[in-house]
Structure 1
Amino acid sequence: MVLVGAVRDYVNRMLHDLNGMKVLLLDTHTVGIMSVALSQSELLQREVFLVEKVDAPAKEVMTHLKAVAFLRPTGENINHLKRHLTSPRFGEFHLFFSNFLKPSHIQILADSDAHEVVQQVQEFFADYFAIDPYHFTLNLPSNYLCMLPTVLDPQNSQLACDRIVEGIAAVFLSMKRRPAIRYQRSSEISKRVAQDAAKLMYEQENALFDFRRSEVAPLLLVIDRRDDPVTPLLNQWTYQAMVHELLGIQDNRVDLKNLPKVPKDLQEVVLSSEQDSFFKSNMYENFGDLGANIKKMVDEFQSRAKSNQNIQTLEDMVKFVENYPEYRKQQGNVSKHVTLMTEMSRIVDERQLMSVSQTEQELACTAGQPVAFEAVVQHLNNDRVTEIDRLRLVMLYALRYEKESPQSVEQLVSRFGARSNRWKPGLVQTLLKQCGVEKRTGDLYGNRDLFNRARNMARGLKGVENVYTQHQPLIAQTIENIVRGRLRDVDYPFVGNHYQQGRPQDVVIFIVGGTTYEEARMVSMQNAAQNGTRVLLGGSVVLNSSSFICDLEEIHRMKRVERSSILR
């Protein structure tokens, strides 16, 4: 069920059984899918000597190469393949598609293959980015569509919904399972995705999903990002989440080109739990422990480097040469993690994030409106606090106290607006209209019922390991309710008559609107507990606070356009 393994298996089946030199033809989407599954060195081991985009202009003919095309089954890609097959540059074509292929597309390919260079056509359902063993994303463009009423942009909203359904279907086909499906009742988009997924799996492609039944079917739960707007607004203090928040991660790569004093060989680095053992061991460690572990790694490397300098005999030299690739790899890893730690430390100091984050955590986890108000005001008046950090604090305050103290919310919004050049105060109101208490199903602050209040009190009495990581995303409560059989049908109904008896062993939670690495960490911890339920987390994108706010900006813009058109 581990996602990375499923995608790697598909890729190996494409490449392993095909002897000889190969060129890999990819599209914009599958480039990312492939890059998170296999490293460049692993591709070379499989005799892939050239990687090209399928839409690239024609180059020289290389009939000694076999073309392996791995593409999404879109009309655009079919047309690109038609061009390749009409005037083939390669000796053979092996065509693999990441999802369902329409019969009309198969006919176009057959008609185009006049030179009979196509050796095989297969569907390999790797239509998602397996960024970690239990975490996948679809890298959906225009993610803001997931938070818009469909009437504002019905055509693009439907395209986004279709893409989500296709991605979810690919996940279950790669698992060889058909799930029972539930959704968040209060969310229109979650309902649409769930119903369309059920229609695809149980009607349109019923035969394809007719796998051997298990005693308890796996569960697909489709929920809405708007149910927990707090998690993507918070600063993060565990390694993977912190890198994404401060530097950004795209397809397990971190772009450092625009940062000062970064060496050329470190301007783009890979952060993959499959390819980097240090990262795998430390991706969920907090900032303080991470610093100590990086220092330990540096000390161990320096000790090894000194031993390598003591080459006195031919035998010593042979031993060093044999270990040299591993030595170079370790050297690169040390430089990478030291560079990332250095850059993040610089940003934390520049933006005074330790102080800002402490206030964020208090807003997310503890009550006390007057104290919270004064803390936010203090940060709004601090010139060293950046505009985006001020905005996040006001947003977190507004989400917490929109009903309890609406006047203080207005005061903070006004104070923020008076000093902001980049963002308009109306963005906070857009957030509340999209993600406010009236729109949410879950008990975001744990104060709606006696059970959640008691649990929060118990957490407070025990204390927390780190004041900066005390927040728990809402998904932790959702997972607990699934495991204990307490997920309420009235809030999360099943689609159709496909109910579930008993506790599911496998659960896929898909968040329409995007996941966060904090939630991925929570899922990993749940799976490590081995309580009989294994959870996969997926979403339309992987958010940080900047991308979440950008989505809100786009919604704010479209709402203004809608109001203007109505007034005209």
Structure 2
Amino acid sequence: MYNFGKTQAQLLIVERGFDPVSPILHELTYQAMAYDLIDIQEDTYKYKAEDGPEKEAQLSEDDQLWIKLRHKHIAEVAEQIPKLVKEIAASKKKPDGKITIANLSQMMKKMPAFRKQMTEKKAHLHLAEDCMEHYSKNVEKLCKAEQDLAVGSDVEGVKVKDAMRTLLPVLLHPYNPPDKIRAVLLYIFSLSGTTTENLNKLIQHVKIEDQQEFILNWKALGVPIITSPSFFSRKPTRRDRSQEDTYKLSRWTPVIKDVMEDAVENKLDTKEWPHLSESPAAWNGSGAVSARQKHKASSQDERRTGSRLIVFVVGGMSYSEMRCAYEVTQTVKSCEVIIGSSHILTPTGLLNDIKALSKAPSKAPMETLTIEERSNA
């Protein structure tokens, strides 16, 4: 942990093995879900229009609706987008009724000015429907097992005593191999490792005997895969979020959010997070600007002149962790939380990265540094 004197900033550096669970789970917020389930290349979403040709939508900072919705749960997104479409349609004096992609096309052909206004909304209507279709077909049942394994308890708060009993229905269902691999990994993570005999059975069941690296290579990140009497794995102490209002299939909170909240509240354990420069007496104190002191200033202006927390994840960051930076920034107001990494991970991309560790080149190529300032979202 680094501190930067007068600027009232902290830099926290963590490695990917710090939290292997978050980038593996099926996340149900809009951005994370879209990049996990839909084939989005270079931030470009391609979809089939009703009139035939394929269309593209750029998911970027220029898309205000994307910025507004990307960190919301898919249930909220699926509810909000049709409402936005109806509001615009109503402003054009169209009769009330169910708005579908098909009749939107007819409306857009008749109203040139309306066409430009609707393009962004229509793309997101397609994307949200695409996400929900994948969710209904394959993801919904998976999510319950994943959440139970990750959290260690079910929706009612009853502790999971037999993780294999939770995993077994996933293995018996005809899910695709990557989804089964993700479930097996969550099972292993929940136990802080398993026996060699049990692991071999799991690998045989998923039928990845020739691709064991998807699982075994996690040990290179310091994540226990095989239990060993000489290995002691200490899981981080988690914040109690049992009273928080969450969706049943989104109960897991990335570990990095606990760290972010502890950091801005000056509660980090210095034994686990030693300072590499002199620690200020009150990191989030006099340097922070509160809304009470400047009523006319926007919360974003206050954050820019107040404290700043920078979190760098070595080995890639997930979209759920990016969301956490945004959420903490919005909650704290006087502190801007920035998260960055060498690259952004999707579950599929992470599994491929893990597998590739077996044949990593002696001289790895330079990776692009990715910085995400969630306060601007």
Residue in structure 2 matched with residue 112 of structure 1 by the alignment: none
Is this contact kept in 1: 2:217–2:358, CA < 8 A?
A: yes
Question: Identity over aligned residues, as a percent?
Answer: 21
Matches of 1:518 and 1:395, distance apart in 2: 18
Q: Over residues 522-545 of structure 1, what are the superposed CA-to-partner deviations in whole Å (9 max), with x where a residue is unaligned?
A: 111111113532211111111111
Give how far 1:292 is off: 1.1
Query: CA 1:441–1:289 in 2, change beyond 3 Å: closer, same or farther?
Result: same
1:425 aligns with 2:241: no
Residue in structure 1 matched with residue 76 of structure 2 by the alignment: 289
Q: Over residues 199-252 of structure 1, what are the superposed CA-to-partner deviations in whole Å (9 max), with x where a residue is unaligned?
A: xxxxxxxxxxxxxx963542222211110111100111111111111125555x
Is this contact kept in 2: 1:181–1:219, CA < 8 A?
A: yes
Matches of 2:68 and 2:140, distance apart in 1: 24
1:363 aligns with 2:149: yes
Q: Over residues 98-147 of structure 1, what are the superposed CA-to-partner deviations in whole Å (9 max), with x where a residue is unaligned?
A: xxxxxxxxxxxxxxxxxxxxxxxxxxxxxxxxxxxxxxxxxxxxxxxxxx
1:398 to 185, 188, 191: 188
Matches of 2:188 and 2:316, distance apart in 1: 21
Residue in structure 1 matched with residue 296 of structure 2 by the alignment: none
1:482 aligns with 2:263: yes
Aligned length in residues: 313
Is this contact kept in 1: 2:40–2:46, CA < 8 A?
A: no
Is this contact kept in 2: 1:508–1:535, CA < 8 A?
A: yes
Query: CA 1:325–1:260 in 2, change beyond 3 Å: closer, same or farther?
Result: closer
TM-score (norm 1): 0.50
In structure 2, stretches of 5+ residues that fail to align are 96-110, 154-158, 225-230, 285-306, 362-377
1:244 aligns with 2:244: no
TM-score (norm 2): 0.73
Which structure is richer in relative contact order (CA contacts within 8 A, separation 6 or more)? 2
1:301 aligns with 2:88: yes
2:57 to 269, 281, 288: 269
1:515 aligns with 2:317: yes
Query: CA 1:380–1:325 in 2, change beyond 3 Å: closer, same or farther?
Result: same
1:47-66 counterparts in 2 under 5 A? none
Give how far 1:485 is off: 1.9
Is this contact kept in 2: 1:216–1:502, CA < 8 A?
A: no
Query: CA 1:254–1:236 in 2, change beyond 3 Å: closer, same or farther?
Result: farther
1:120-135 counterparts in 2 under 5 A? none
Is this contact kept in 1: 2:23–2:346, CA < 8 A?
A: yes
Query: CA 1:249–1:487 in 2, change beyond 3 Å: closer, same or farther?
Result: farther
Residue in structure 1 matched with residue 368 of structure 2 by the alignment: none
1:556 aligns with 2:358: yes
Q: Over residues 509-560 of structure 1, what are the superposed CA-to-partner deviations in whole Å (9 max), with x where a residue is unaligned?
A: 111111111111111111111353221111111111101101100013449x
1:89-488 counterparts in 2 under 5 A? 181=2, 215-247=6-38, 249=40, 253-256=43-46, 264-266=53-55, 268-272=56-60, 274-307=61-94, 327-350=114-137, 352-367=138-153, 368-383=159-174, 385-403=175-193, 406-407=194-195, 410-411=197-198, 413-420=200-207, 424-436=211-223, 443=236, 446=237, 452=238, 455-456=239-240, 459-460=241-242, 462=243, 464-488=245-269
Is this contact kept in 1: 2:22–2:318, CA < 8 A?
A: yes
1:501-540 counterparts in 2 under 5 A? 501-504=281-284, 505-540=307-342
Query: CA 1:225–1:487 in 2, change beyond 3 Å: closer, same or farther?
Result: same
Query: CA 1:549–1:440 in 2, change beyond 3 Å: closer, same or farther?
Result: farther
- Give me the CA root mean square deviation: 3.1
Secondary structure of 2:274's aligned partner: coil
Structure with max Cα Rg = 1
Matches of 1:514 and 1:439, distance apart in 2: 25
Residue in structure 1 matched with residue 343 of structure 2 by the alignment: 541
Matches of 1:439 and 1:463, distance apart in 2: 31
In structure 1, stretches of 5+ residues that fail to align are 1-179, 183-212, 309-323, 447-451, 560-568
Query: CA 1:222–1:265 in 2, change beyond 3 Å: closer, same or farther?
Result: same
Is this contact kept in 2: 1:512–1:540, CA < 8 A?
A: yes
